[in-house]
Amino acid sequence: MRQPFRPGTEADIARARQHSLGDLLHRTARRDPDKLAVVAGDLRVTYAEFDAAVNRCANALAARGLAKGDRLALLSHNSWQYAVLAFATAKLGVVLVPVNFMLGAEEIAFILGHSGATAMVAEDALAPTAEKALATAGVTGGVRGWIGLSGAAPSAGWEDVDAWWRGGDDSAPDVVVADDDPLRLMYTSGTESRPKGVMLSSRSLISQYVSCVIDGGMAADDVEVHSLPMYHCAQLDCFFSVDVYLGATSIILPGPDPAALLATIAREKVTKLFCPPTVWISLLRHPDFDTTDLSSLRKGYYGASPMPVEVLRELARRLPDVALWNFYGQTEMSPLATILRPHEQLERAGSAGKASINVETMLVDDDGDPVPPGEIGEIVHRSPHAALGYYDDEEKTAAAFAGGWFHSGDLGIMTADGYLSVVDRKKDMIKTGGENVASREVEEAIYELDGVAEVAVFGISHPHWIEAVTAVVVAKPGATLAAEQVHAHARAKLAGYKRPKYVVLADALPKNPSGKILKRELRTEHANLAEMDT
């Protein structure tokens, strides 16, 4: 029964119960102030120092006019400054918009315009691209932060981010952030030609962190290297932010260079590592692998695509003391949904495992009805991990959450005891090198080339990229096209990872009686392109 409270009491209770993303760092710093929190290059900081730096940065942003609900776009490779900004924005209730650093200026401009970001922070090497994007989006004024990773001085109109966290007021900002206030706007390739802005809150993220900890075997004594891009929620939210929550130690690398990864594991006595299959393969193939001391490594994680069975066997043979987990999910699930655990790796190779502890997963048909075990259906989830919806897109949000379940768009098969296998992308998503590529976006770009009548883009199996973007192109009658023309056009229009690795010219595309292009036939027909390359 509801009790009457004096004015202000309910607000005090809400503040006392607050458990937002920004609170996690502060509470870890209170528990373990002297614990090594982050190593980035020559910088080594404790949790007390990390929390103070974040508070200074948050207060600097507030002094520049940023307030709860504003958007800050962040374009950078992994860095200490990236980690600071991820938590400084959370403490203010400012919505962080991580931007894929492989995108071109026009692609970034769309994200800036759609998100409504007025503030932008960019790494020095990416600042020219950021400036073009801002101009294209028509964004003027606002906060401009410069991360000097190469040591270059800030350009006119940009401020050095290091000044924000090095000095100033280190008291915690007094901002009330509710469980479901948006804190992240993550742009996913989706299945359309334009990315969608996925809104994530503290409730979404922290519920997912709990699932990672419990089902992923994570602990406060972990020492983890973070080399995959932090603009992606896998590295940022399955691993880095979970380490902050627990009080583990994080080693930040700018990218997944195999030599640097191996050297870092040996030097820092790393115990835990996440890589997509492509990076695990690159480590196994590196000449330093067998001569590097990897004896500290105990936990390994992969995702984005299934690990080839032969690679699993090789990892078990060459890293016998490393337990492996397969994480499956997507941005809209913050991103974890299901987990395949260490003892299941070879027995159920290729499986995405079972729903994690805070997730309920099932398969449905086109009418939303459950399908029986062994039959293909769309993968749907019910969980507090789930996003708040798509920013400024009520129609897509309604479709994604139809019937009270989040519809993943992936197709799968589930066993009677709940093990999931992902068999296809409902909308032909391609996952190449751990990145999502929407086939339709690539097709639309190629259609802009004069002389193209039809194009079909799909993924084929590849020994390094796991999937390689492939385009089959049909020329207009009387037009002459060469594969190199298509490659050149793609280079001008698309980020590198979205460009077709293979272009095939054809007289026609296979279609069913209703005119739908049969991509399954194309995948089969061109499956050996990668083999011909080797």
Is 42 in a helix, a strand, or coil?
A: coil
Q: Indicate which CATH number applies to the domain containing 85.
A: 3.40.50.980
Phi, psi of 123 (to 5 degrees): -65, 145
Pick the residue with more confidence: 151 or 499? 499
The Cα angle at residue 287 between residues 285 and 289, in degrees rounded to 5: 75
pLDDT digit string (tens) for 251-268?
999 999 999 999 999 999
> Average pLDDT of the chain?
93
Residue 314 lies in a domain: no
Q: And the tokens for 332?
A: 């809209």
Is 219 in a helix, a strand, or coil?
A: coil
Quick check: 514 pLDDT over 50? no
Query: What gap in Å lies between CA 203 and CA 383, rounded to an integer?
Result: 10
The region of weakest confidence among 57-71, 155-169, 407-421, 447-461 is: 447-461
Residue 79 lies in a domain: yes
Nearest Cα residue to 485 out of 498, 495, 475, 477: 475
Quick check: 233 pLDDT over 60? yes
pLDDT digit string (tens) for 75-99?
999 999 999 999 999 999 999 999 9
How many domains are there within the chain?
Answer: 2
Residue that is last in its domain, among 177, 198, 220: 177
The region of weakest confidence among 279-283, 303-307, 489-493 is: 303-307
| Per-residue confidence (pLDDT) for residue 191, from 0 to 100 | 40
Using a pLDDT cut of 90, give the percent of the chain over it: 78
Quick check: 418 pLDDT over 80? yes
pTM for the structure as a whole: 0.84
User: Please, which pLDDT band fits residue 312 given cuts at 50, 70 and 90?
Assistant: very high
413 to 304, 312, 377: CA distances (angstroms): 18, 22, 7
Q: Answer yes or no: are the C-beta atoms of 439 and 458 closer than 8 Å.
A: yes
Q: What does the pLDDT average to over 237-244?
A: 98
Residue that is last in its domain, among 177, 200, 230: 177
| Per-residue confidence (pLDDT) for residue 513, from 0 to 100 | 47
Dihedral angle over CA of 522, 364, 334, 298, nearest 10: -80
User: Please, which pLDDT band fits residue 358 given cuts at 50, 70 and 90?
Assistant: very high
| Per-residue confidence (pLDDT) for residue 307, from 0 to 100 | 82
Q: Which long-range contacts (CB under 8 A, 24 or more apart) does 336-339 make?
A: 336/208, 336/211, 336/212, 336/238, 336/385, 337/361, 337/379, 337/381, 337/383, 337/385, 337/408, 338/420, 339/211, 339/215, 339/216
Residue 337 lies in a domain: no
Q: What does the pLDDT average to over 417-436?
A: 80
Residue 72 lies in a domain: yes
Q: Indicate which CATH number applies to the domain containing 528.
A: 3.30.300.30
Residue 27 lies in a domain: no
Phi, psi of 530 (to 5 degrees): -65, -35
Pick the residue with more confidence: 447 or 418? 418
| Per-residue confidence (pLDDT) for residue 441, from 0 to 100 | 79
Query: What gap in Å lies between CA 406 and CA 397, rounded to an integer?
Result: 9
Per residue, what are the HEC states of 147-190?
A: ECCCCCCCCCCCEEHHHHHHCCCCCCCCCCCCCCCEEEEEEECC
Q: What does the pLDDT average to over 395-405?
A: 97
Q: And the tokens for 240?
A: 């880095």
Residue that is last in its domain, among 130, 161, 177: 177
| Per-residue confidence (pLDDT) for residue 4, from 0 to 100 | 77
Residue 479 lies in a domain: yes
Quick check: 532 pLDDT over 80? no
Residue 409 lies in a domain: no
Instruction: Round the CA-based radius of gyration of the chain to a whole number and report it.
Output: 23
| Per-residue confidence (pLDDT) for residue 192, from 0 to 100 | 47
Quick check: 190 pLDDT over 80? no
Q: Give the structural domain span for 451.
A: 429-533
H or E element in which residue 25 lies = helix 21-31
Residue 455 lies in a domain: yes
| Per-residue confidence (pLDDT) for residue 188, from 0 to 100 | 86
Dihedral angle over CA of 100, 101, 105, 110, nearest 10: 10
